């Protein structure tokens, strides 16, 4: 990448204008839990809070990326700008899965109103929240009106998405062989709207039938992401569900909690690295005349050092 100076004001301005390079660069900082991101995030924050957040989750291979591609097309027809965050639970920055997603979303690569980014989620401290919140804010500040977040249905990440999004679409498909586990894992609870994809395949009817009993209280829709079938209905249910559910308060609460957690970790990290114990104290532990449990606690009581 070309060398150039990035002062905070110019950088912020560029992101607010929707500049992809500036946004990508900040996203990389965020992904690396780099503290240098914070002043920028702070400057962007007043310009956020407008986007509709749609979580798209479900098992690998269910057709989430294919569906997202279709949803992008639909939103673009409505003249809404779109951001996509594809969360990969395993792969750092690059890898087959992400490349696959990129290729599948490719038709929109040249559309300047569409911004697609994969986000590596397992950072230094684990968990997706801090980086995901920040990433959402960056896309929001870029002016993306709809933000789609793709996660693989494997557990904790989905619960997190459900807390953040205005609406969660659970994508299922026949023949994945994990129907029972999925229901056990409570994945079904997460979808505000449940889409049975690959409706062009006969087995989809069977899955739909199985799900009717459990998903009686929410929209359950048969779609074919590949053939573009059932999408209008799905879209209207997404709109309805996102208007119904007020996720904003719980989202802000979670954000504040995450920020507190991040801050405390930093303060804690500093405290530990600045801690000074004199050699005699350490030696006492070596000789088992003292124990580290007691040493640490008395150290805190007497105030640092």
22 binds Mg ion (CB under 5 A): no
**Distance of closest approach, residue 135 Cβ to ligand GDP, in angstroms:** 19
Please count the residues of this chain forming the interface with Mg ion, following the rule CB under 5 A.
3
- 8 Å CB contact between 119 and 27: yes
Cα(168)–Cα(170) distance, integer angstroms: 6
The entry of Mg ion, ligand GDP, none near residue 30 (CB within 5 to 8 angstroms by kind) is none
Cα(305)–Cα(291) distance, integer angstroms: 17
The entry of ligand GDP, Mg ion, none near residue 174 (CB within 5 to 8 angstroms by kind) is none
Which among 38-46, 93-101, 107-115, 248-256 is the span making contact with Mg ion, rule CB under 5 A? Answer: 93-101
Greatest CA separation for the chain: 75
Nearer to ligand GDP, 18 or 174 (CB): 174
**Distance of closest approach, residue 47 Cβ to ligand GDP, in angstroms:** 31
Cα(36)–Cα(154) distance, integer angstroms: 31
- Residue 274 vs residues 61, 138, 268: alpha-carbon distances, Å: 48, 33, 10
**Distance of closest approach, residue 184 Cβ to Mg ion, in angstroms:** 23
Q: How many residues in total does the chain contain?
A: 305
140 SS3 class: helix
- Sites of contact with ligand GDP (CB under 6 A): 58, 60-66, 104, 197-198, 200-201, 224-227
65 binds Mg ion (CB under 5 A): yes
Residues ≥6 apart with Cβ < 8 Å to 209: none
Nearer to ligand GDP, 25 or 64 (CB): 64
- Residue 300 vs residues 178, 268, 277, 295: alpha-carbon distances, Å: 50, 12, 11, 9
Q: Which residues pair with 118 in a beta bridge?
A: 86
The entry of Mg ion, ligand GDP, none near residue 55 (CB within 5 to 8 angstroms by kind) is none
Which among 2-10, 61-69, 123-131, 227-235 is the span making contact with Mg ion, rule CB under 5 A? Answer: 61-69
242 binds Mg ion (CB under 5 A): no
224 binds Mg ion (CB under 5 A): no
Nearer to ligand GDP, 56 or 132 (CB): 56
Question: Taking Cα atoms as reference points, which of 69, 207, 208 lies closest to residue 148?
Answer: 69
The entry of Mg ion, ligand GDP, none near residue 129 (CB within 5 to 8 angstroms by kind) is none
Residues ≥6 apart with Cβ < 8 Å to 79: none
Residues making contact with Mg ion (CB under 5 A): 64-65, 101
């Amino acid at each position: 990448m070309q060398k150039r100076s990035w002062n905070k004001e110019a950088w912020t301005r560029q992101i607010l204008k929707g500049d992809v390079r500036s946004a990508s660069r900040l996203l990389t900082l965020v992904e690396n839990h780099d503290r240098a991101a914070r002043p920028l995030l702070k400057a962007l924050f007043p310009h956020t809070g407008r986007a509709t957040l749609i979580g798209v989750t479900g098992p690998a291979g269910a057709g989430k990326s294919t569906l997202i591609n279709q949803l992008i097309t639909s939103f673009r027809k409505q003249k809404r700008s779109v951001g996509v965050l594809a969360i990969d639970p395993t792969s750092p920055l690059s890898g087959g899965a992400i490349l696959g997603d990129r290729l599948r979303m490719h038709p929109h690569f040249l559309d300047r109103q569409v911004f697609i980014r994969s986000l590596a989620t397992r950072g230094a401290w684990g968990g997706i929240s801090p980086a995901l919140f920040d990433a959402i804010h960056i896309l929001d500040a870029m002016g993306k009106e709809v933000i789609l977040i793709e996660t693989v249905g494997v557990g904790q990440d989905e619960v997190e998405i459900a807390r953040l999004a205005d609406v969660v679409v659970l994508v299922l498909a026949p023949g994945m062989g994990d129907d029972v586990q999925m229901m056990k894992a409570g994945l079904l609870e997460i979808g505000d709207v449940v889409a049975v994809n690959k409706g062009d395949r006969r087995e989809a009817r069977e899955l739909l039938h199985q799900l009717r009993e459990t998903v009686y209280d929410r929209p359950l829709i048969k779609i074919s992401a590949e053939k573009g079938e059932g999408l209008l209905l799905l879209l209207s249910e997404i709109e309805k569900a996102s208007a119904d559910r007020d996720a904003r308060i719980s989202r802000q609460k979670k954000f504040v909690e995450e920020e507190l957690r991040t801050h405390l970790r930093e303060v804690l990290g500093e405290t530990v690295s600045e801690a000074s114990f004199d050699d005699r104290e350490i030696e006492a532990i070596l000789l088992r005349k003292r124990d580290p449990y007691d040493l640490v606690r008395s150290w805190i009581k007497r105030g640092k050092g």
